[in-house]
Structure formats: structure tokens, C-alpha cells
Amino acid sequence: MSDLTDELRGLGLDPDLVADRVRQALEEDKPGEDVTSAATLEPREHAWADLVARGGGVVAGLPVAELVFRSTVLDVEVKRHAADGDRVTRGDVLMSVYGTVPTLLTAERTALNFLCHLSGVATATARWVDVLAGTRARVRDTRKTTPGLRALEKYAVRCGGGVNHRATLSDQALVKDNHVLAAGSVVAAYDAVRARYPDLPVQVEVTTLDQLRQLLDAGAPSILLDNMSTAQMAEAVRLTADRATLEASGGLTLERGREVAETGVDFVAVGAITHSAPVLDVAMDLRG
């Protein structure tokens, strides 16, 4: 599976982490024998199976699904007919897999769980990308991810055309309201982070235009506009005049996305693209 390992690494994914998540998912589904397949199927029978989109969207997770099959199916052969990031329609065959029928059916649900979920995240992200098209704004994810699946979900966001925010608490500082309260002010909190971690990216959340002015005077390079009205965001963009990047946040919806983007903000933060994305329906069909 060296080619698949190299592919995962090239996609910005840790192959060992992905393999561990696949192993855990397979063990969760099959701690013992697949009793239904063992009772009803001829163990040496081989067949092709197709993974078919049952709806339209953006694909993500095909290499992960392939790893599931390669970890489970005897005498496996895999042919992909789509690539992660592709837009597909109902009826499109995404991947075909050949192997013993019992092992194909044993791997089916685990492979589809990864593929359907990650494609759902990519599809939700792509909807935002479409809404923001023609503006400077780009949709960015958050840390509101499924425990254990953050790296994969953030990869799916990239497949959908979105931008990743920080992945961990240590790769970037994000000063939020509770930090501000503890420090005494937005500037005090910003200065404290900058003093301790001078080379680390820092973003500071503000809820008022006065806090924004204070941070601009302090030289803050990245500011999060939390739960502001569209008019406040537009004024924030005017006041900032490209001295810092601005990110809109706080319960943003697709219906409001365009008007927020047209204020001139650089990013919109949308936790829903990971924590609330509906799955893209994909099924596995055995060929007769």
C-alpha cells in the first residue's frame, strides 16, 4: 500500500493517523466475525462492486475508503472513477472494487461511513464557496470537529474549496472573550500573547468597533468580528483599511453569507461545515 501511503502524505494527511482511524472503525464494526456474511455467502466467491453517488455534491475521502477495502478485502482490486474535490451528480460511479464478496460486504459500511461523511463536509463547504464567489471572502473552518476526525474533516474542507483555520491550540493563538476578561482588555490579552510567543500567529476576537480601533492601534494583524451586524462589519472594514485581516464569525448562514462577504471581510468562519454537514449519500452496489 506504499502508493496509497504516498498519496495520503501528498494530500497533507498523516498516513499513520489515517490508518489508525481506519483500524479503529473496522474494529468497532467487526470485533468478531461478520455473522451475516459468514452464514449466507460463499467465502470464495468474487465480484465487482461499485460505489455510486445517490445525490449531487463534492467528493472527499476516496483514498480513505480505498484504505478500508485494502485493509479488509481479499484479493482486492480498486479502480477510481473520480477524484477528491470532483463535483459529481446522482448516478456517478466513484469507485469500483473487486474481491471476495464476504469481505467486500464486511468493509462496505466502514468505507461508506468515511466517504459519505467527508464528502458531506466537502459539499457543505462548496456551497459556501459558491455563495462567496466574486468577493474577496473565503470560507474558513473552526475547531468544531468530530473528536478524532479533525485532520480528515479539515482535509474535506480543502476538497470543497475552503480554507483551514488552526488545527490545534498550539499552532496559532486565538484570543476570545474569556481571555479578554481574564487579561482586562483586548490589547492586554494581545500584548500578553505577543510577548510570550513573538513568532506565533495571533488572532483576537472583538465584539465592538471600539475594541477593533484599540487593536488596530496596537498593530494586531488578524481580528475576528464576533456576532456583528452587517453594518458593523462594513464599518469595521472601512476603519481597518487593509491594516489587518478581518474574519466574520458567529452563527453565519448561507442565506446571509453573500451580504456578509460583500462588506469586504477576508474570511467567514463557519463551524457548521464540519459539525453539522449532512452526508453525501453514496451506496455500494454489487454487480450481478
Known catalytic residue at 205: yes
User: Which triple of cell numbers denotes residue 182?
Assistant: 481574564
User: Cα separation of 145 and 95, whole Å?
Assistant: 27
Q: Which residue among 84, 205, 247, 266 is the active-site one?
A: 205
Give the strand pairing for 245-249 and 222-226: parallel
Which residues are bridge partners to 222 per DSSP?
Answer: 245
Catalytic entry in 144, 166, 256, 258: 144
Q: What does the block give as the cell for 146?
A: 468530530
Cα dihedral: 183, 188, 194, 196 (round 10): -40
Q: Out of 66, 84, 226, 266, pick the active-site residue.
A: 226
* 30 catalytically annotated: no
Active site residue 144: yes
* 213 annotated active-site: no
Run of H or E residues at 267: strand 267-269
Q: Could you say which of 9, 54, 90, 176 is catalytic? A: 176
Q: Has 141 been annotated as catalytic?
A: no
Catalytic residue among 30, 70, 80, 109: 109
- As a whole number of angstroms, the distance between CA 63 and CA 152 comes to 11
Residue type, 263: T
Compute the Cα dihedral for 133, 53, 80, 121 and give only its sign. positive
Residues taking part in catalysis: 109, 144, 176, 205, 226
